[in-house]
Structure 1
């Protein structure tokens, strides 16, 4: 019996924010995978180790969590005034699909450094020392991200003293600007509030009618008050992820919210669209102990937020959800804004399971519509390993 040998593909394993993923230059992918389609999806699933009925991804680069089952493809940009195009693929752990419906805000922090190191940014735009400004076209949602990447001696600076809750070691700060973050989602018409309301009554069979804020900013997100679903906002991962009934409740809310937002036509479609929308719950400030053992005082934060990604409570906060939080907080009357005390604000610091995070956003109203020109936050990124990733030659 003939056995097909493995092939090797240039790749870089990177941490960006509180996520990890396998990064590729588009030009380095096998020809069949350089275009969207079944071959590309099959290749990325095999790289990550999915679908895995054991949900461990032992035979791939994935780490068996939503934060580590990620892939990124970067190419020189085809868009005017942009340096690179960035495409994000969220690989399902136990099912055979790659979700292309949204961005990863955490890995966005690693795109600029990867692009510079990979020779995808014009050398004339990269200083020897100082800060390189990388203009990124986020291809999943059709938005611009500006990454400010520190440079030292002609190379991307990765070490530094910037600390990010949810990441063990300090690193260099990468500031991100998400321009016009209202997400262009299919069926949602690009509206920041797809229903036209800051707060809606969402009827969820078996749970009741919930007050929700549904927003397209950074990533489509459904916000609900913690107390309305029996929580305090101080929960850590085990309190939710160890409770199948709780997970089923959140998935039901997410499915019905997705239909209401116009992202899907029937709740059954939610199962194959795990990456979006996100569902999160908010609460007024309260003291709690973060997963690292760090004490978070009520006075340290403006509100508490817990968010689910790919069906599980996130260990910290998704970067795109942080954009949604910052945007919603800047708009008086949303559940996020009310949990933070209400009124006008251009920045918010919220508590998540791993600690706290600050995100800024400037909101204004024009012709009755809310507009947010950009959301700003800082993350960090570094290369963990680079070289080649190997997959069986018949895997795609």
Structure 2
């Protein structure tokens, strides 16, 4: 795609404005052998909007957001290079016939992005499509750039203020995090290696079910994240009875400090907390580390990166995503829309076991979805029943506490 090559070159040909260390999550993801498959798509349609306005505002977004002008470098150490803004940044525009589909162009942008280099090229593709009376913005971003929360729909109409992407306080916070105590990841990496060596992931299957309860999670003894963290952890110990300890990677949305939320910007969009818990531990003991790391966003992820840099870990461990992953989020039309878009992007991401809990506003209904290795089919056939039991058990404990 010649126009997408022009877009890439118009950004990377500029000089380097500044260089900094990779963010903790980027530093972790960049080791993954399939990182080119971690793609986040956007599709936005407009009617009766001038293409010149959208194109001008897209340039403003690129100017204001440093990570849209970044490339990764591994010449000496892993570094993030922020390029100077190019006033002549080229934004591709395609005119479609009535026979051509938006989906085909999304596929083409995804394929082109996978062909670009992780080191030296920008890690996203954007374009405008004109089809009859509609104008479409489409974009495909590597997960190291965004988690899909940026409000392109509004910003393409309004533009960005000059200081909108200023992450100086954020950088200062991350750079000061102490990572000297990271020995606890030895357990995590040991069990991760054991799981990866004992279970080959050939292909993925999925399960989706809805859990409903008459109990309202209003006691505030646990937050929603804490409640489902405990429920899922206790469920996993029943699914994997042969393990005395289990590692769990929690994806945390909406991380904030000093009253500023960065998850909807380009940057270290979400946090990851890697923990190891013992089967025999009480719920209070299981929550202790989780609560501590929740108070210090990115500390756990930065410690983990420091650990894997210093430890001599097997290549498979470094190059593989975490085996057990939990994401807890709220239900929203925007998130549901993003999930539908992701179906248009071919991605070869193989999960061992990833669990997502989506909470309805009522707090009495939850969608639980699993992506898992087909080798776990027999183990997970009673997953819905077990997680129901563990959730109800925790609800009953909370009822006793509140009396």
Larger Rg: 2
TM-score tier by shorter-chain length is under 0.3
TM-score between the two structures when normalised by the length of structure 1: 0.26
TM-score between the two structures when normalised by the length of structure 2: 0.26
RCO comparison, higher one (Cα < 8 Å, 6+) = 2
